[in-house]
Amino acid sequence: MTLQPDAQRAAASVLVVDLDDTLVRTDTLAEQFVALVFSKPLAALMVLPMLLRGRAAFKDRLSQMQPLDPAALPYNEPLLDFLRAERSQSRPIHLVTAAHQSVADAVAGHCGLFDSAEGSDAGRNLKGARKAEHLTERFPEGFCYAGDSRADLKVWAHAESIVLAGASASVAQDARNLGKPLEAEFDRDRPRLKTWRKALRLHQWTKNLLVFLPLLLSQKFTEPHAVLLSLVAFVAMGLTASATYLINDLSDLASDRRHATKRNRPLAAGVLRIEHVAVAVPLLLITAAALALATSPILLLGLAGYAALTLTYTFRLKRRPMLDVAALASLYAIRVAIGAAVIGTPQSPWLITFSLFFFFSMSLAKRYAEIHNLRDGEGSRALPGRGYRTDDGPAVLALGAASSVASVLVVVTYLMEEAFPSNIYEQPDWLWVAPFLLMIWVGRIWLVAGRGELDEDPIAYAISDRFSWKLMVPLVAAFVLATVAWP
């Protein structure tokens, strides 16, 4: 934030504040439409034809169908602090926005800083030249205007002074060229490569390494074509998963903003715009489909199944206890099945069964961590955006730990019933290291979760956990010793 003490500020002059991308770091119209898409998809389709009647009519109908929750918006906190300081000096402050009148009223009521709130209605879109004309008529003695967009230049041209709140470099320069006194300037975080990397969850691509598991277990890693197919499947799976993460973030905007850590996600924090994400999702899916078509129809079918289950989880299952973690476990198993299908290896019932038990357990560990981190000793509370309560912790802990043990037993049974009799491995006795290390690792995950030290994602935790990497070394060594024929 930059204040201009030499800007001839007049504390008694009226201060007019815009809403979208100024007072809040998002577009409220996009917020309402996204909320309607995920709560009532058919209603969202039915409201689109209203655009043919104009933007004002569209806003009016959308506001009737999907009221806005002002508490779930990402506010420009430095600007709010500025407004509170001006308010303490008895300066009149008004909210005037192109958003619908109901949105303006809701936000003004939530903030408690404004003398009045004006917005668009079915017959008037209060933006650009129309807003400038309205403000000139309403405040003939002059006003200061806080805005951010190129459309606001027409308003600043009629203002006595200006406040820049999140304006781009080009808009800010054009505003300064108007020669108006600049009262204050508030910068806004712009999306960078790091922002997109975080939003796309590129670190979560490590989960897609599961597509290589059938390649390793079938010992086809010496075949270049099989390795290439697995690499393409890995990339296509990653692109699809990133697209679904963005869709999930769109659906969870309100609950993420109430969460202690998820509120910092690029979309929830307002660093990434909803419109940009709406473009990125189809681009990612189209690229993944193109890779699959060029490689294997089976891969395309697997990606379609993964995307379908993910969307079902996003729209329905994520708020259904146990069904949500079952869906998550199935998504991991699909990765393994895709890896086997693309290289032409028969599906292993042992591997699929292990994946289901193991990742069912890890999904429950994630839920348990969320429940544990929400507990405050004040009785039962609902987990935001999920179907669990804080008093579900003991049941989730017991079921998750049992599933972990079951996954270890599956590995032991596989070694005894198939790995040893099949003579696939030269020195199979070394494989006993696997269930032993697995038991240590899952036990530690649940111990850490019980202490409240798990960051709500066991896989992400393992990636940054030095102890997990130390366990990986003897596991890989045991696999190599079991595979290679020693003299």
How many angstroms separate the CA atoms of 126 and 104, rounded? 12
Place of tokens 């577009």: 27
pLDDT above 80 for 4: no
User: Domain ranges in the chain?
Assistant: 15-186, 193-483
pLDDT digits (tens, 9 = 90+) for 43-72: 999 999 998 888 888 988 999 999 999 999
Tell me, yes or no, if the two domains 15-186 and 193-483 fold the same way.
no
Fold held by 193-483: Farnesyl Diphosphate Synthase (1.10.600)
Rounded to an integer, the average pLDDT of 415-424 is 84
Q: Are 456 and 400 in contact (CB under 8 A)?
A: no
Is the pLDDT score of 8 beyond 60? no
- pLDDT greater at residue 189 or residue 11: 189
Answer yes or no: is pLDDT of 75 > 90.
yes
What is the structure's pLDDT at 183? 94
Amino acid at 399: L
Least confidently predicted of 21-25, 237-241, 480-484: 480-484
Position 378 scores a pLDDT of: 58
Q: Are 135 and 99 in contact (CB under 8 A)?
A: no
Question: What are the phi and psi torsion angles at 431 (to 5°)?
Answer: -70, -15
- Check: CB of residue 405 under 8 Å from CB of residue 361: no
Alpha helices in 317-465 (DSSP H): 323-342, 349-374, 393-414, 420-422, 433-450, 458-464
**Is beta strand 182-186 parallel, antiparallel or unpaired with respect to 2-3?**
antiparallel
Residue 80 · residue 15 · CB < 8 Å: no
DSSP state of 431: G
Which pLDDT score, from 0 to 100, does residue 487 have?
Answer: 55
Find the range with the poorest average confidence among 111-115, 277-281, 395-399, 416-420. Answer: 416-420
CA-angle at 39, arms to 126 and 35, nearest 5° = 35
pTM of the model: 0.83
**Tens digit of each residue's pLDDT (9 = 90 or more) over 97-146:** 999 999 999 999 999 999 999 998 888 888 999 999 999 999 999 999 99
**What span, in angstroms and rounded, lies between the C-alpha atoms of 337 and 72?**
39
The three-class DSSP label of residue 396 is: helix
- CATH fold of 15-186 reads Rossmann fold (3.40.50)
CA distance 237 to 156: 48
> Could you tell me which residues come within 8 angstroms of residue 186 by beta carbon, excluding any fewer than 6 positions away?
1, 2, 76, 78, 79, 82, 163, 164, 165, 166
| pLDDT of 181 strictly over 70 | yes
Residue 147 parent element (H or E): strand 143-147
- Predicted local confidence at residue 11, as pLDDT: 44
Given a cut of 90, whether residue 150 has pLDDT beyond it is yes
Of 306, 325, 318, residue with least CA distance to 211: 306
CA angle 127–269–328, rounded 5-degree value: 125
Number of other residues whose CB lies within 10 A of the CB of residue 11 = 10
What pLDDT shows up at residue 6?
A: 42
What is the per-residue pLDDT for 255?
A: 85
What's the pLDDT score for residue 174? 94
> What confidence score (pLDDT) does residue 449 get?
85
Please tell me the predicted confidence (pLDDT) of residue 152.
94
Binned at pLDDT 50, 70 and 90, residue 318 comes out as: confident
**Nearest to 212, CA basis, from 224, 220, 204:** 220
Whole-angstrom distance, CA of residue 359 vs CA of residue 362: 5
**pLDDT surpasses 90 at 262:** no
Least confident of 35-44, 236-245, 376-385: 376-385
Average pLDDT, the chain: 89
Residues 6 or more apart whose CB falls under 8 angstroms from that of 487 comprise none
Q: Which strand ranges, in their side-by-side order, compose the sheet holding 143-147?
A: 2-3, 182-186, 161-165, 143-147, 14-17, 93-100, 116-120
Q: For the CA atoms of the chain, what is the radius of gyration?
A: 28
Tens of pLDDT, residues 345-377:
888 888 899 999 999 999 999 899 888 877 655
- pLDDT mean over 215-220: 84
Question: Residue 428 has what pLDDT?
Answer: 85
Task: For residues 85 and 108, give the distance between their C-alpha atoms in angstroms, rounded to a whole number.
Answer: 17
> In 371-380, which positions are buried (b, 16+ CB within 10 angstroms) versus exposed (e)?
bbbbeeeeee
**pLDDT tier for residue 456 given thresholds of 50, 70 and 90:** low
